[in-house]
Amino acid sequence: MKTSVLLLVLAALTCGLAQEEDNAVEELQVETLVKPESCSLVSSMGDTMQIHYTGKLMDGKVIDSSLSRDPLVVELGKRTVIAGLEQSLIGVCAGQKIKATIPAHLAYGKKGYPPTIPGDAALEFEVEVISLTQQTQWQKMVNDVFPLLCLALVPTLLGLVGLYLYKKANAQKPNKKKAKDKKSKKK
């Protein structure tokens, strides 16, 4: 009986240590696997990329891959992918292949993505950048200025509506009794 309890405790400790090792990643780590000879165009926020990726848990289990379908289109800054993957795609060029080791807080966090990704799981992505398109000046203006303009317009419009309603509520209303008195005096 003592032996079986001891084995159970030992197994639990071993599993706990193995999980700690898997999730020991605290910071985003990006390793360049392949870099093209010429890299004149480097990605930055707002750029659009087409990528192929393979995502794995730290034990090597594949959780998702785009290799059997069309490349994934990612617009940096739009949060279309997990934060760690988006951060790892800044500063790369078309044709480059990277390996990103992403800590849980930059992936799916404490909740994970059941049943595929457990909570507090660090992930590893191998990514190939198929194409890179930098944002135009018009896109930059729409992405940077338009949201600020909307933030300024909403309170302004609400203020104007409030002012209109205030003036309408406090406007002098013709009194029916006074109108009748004026008519009777005229006769």
Q: Which residues are CB-neighbours of 87 under 8 A, at least 6 positions away?
A: 28, 106
Say what the alpha-carbon torsion angle 18, 19, 24, 28 is, to the nearest 10 degrees.
130
86-121 per-position pLDDT tens digit:
999 999 999 999 999 999 999 999 999 999 999 999
User: Within 10 A of 116 (CB to CB), how many other CB atoms are there?
Assistant: 14
Span 163-180, average pLDDT: 76
Span 40-57, average pLDDT: 94
- Mean predicted lDDT score pLDDT of the chain: 83
Residue ranges of domains in the chain, CATH in brackets: 29-135 (3.10.50.40)
115 preceded by a cis bond (ω within 30 of 0): yes
- The residue among 135 and 177 whose pLDDT is bigger is 135
52-82 per-position pLDDT tens digit:
999 999 999 999 999 999 999 999 999 999 9
User: Within 10 A of 10 (CB to CB), how many other CB atoms are there?
Assistant: 10
The pLDDT of residue 113? 93
The pLDDT of residue 27? 94
Q: Is 33 helix (H, G, I), strand (E, B) or coil?
A: strand
Q: Which residues are CB-neighbours of 42 under 8 A, at least 6 positions away?
A: 91, 92, 93
- The residue among 48 and 141 whose pLDDT is bigger is 48
Q: Which two tokens mark 142?
A: 């729409």
Span 154-178, average pLDDT: 82
The pLDDT of residue 16? 47
pTM: 0.64
What confidence tier does 140 reach under pLDDT thresholds 50, 70, 90?
confident
Q: Are 50 and 72 in contact (CB under 8 A)?
A: yes
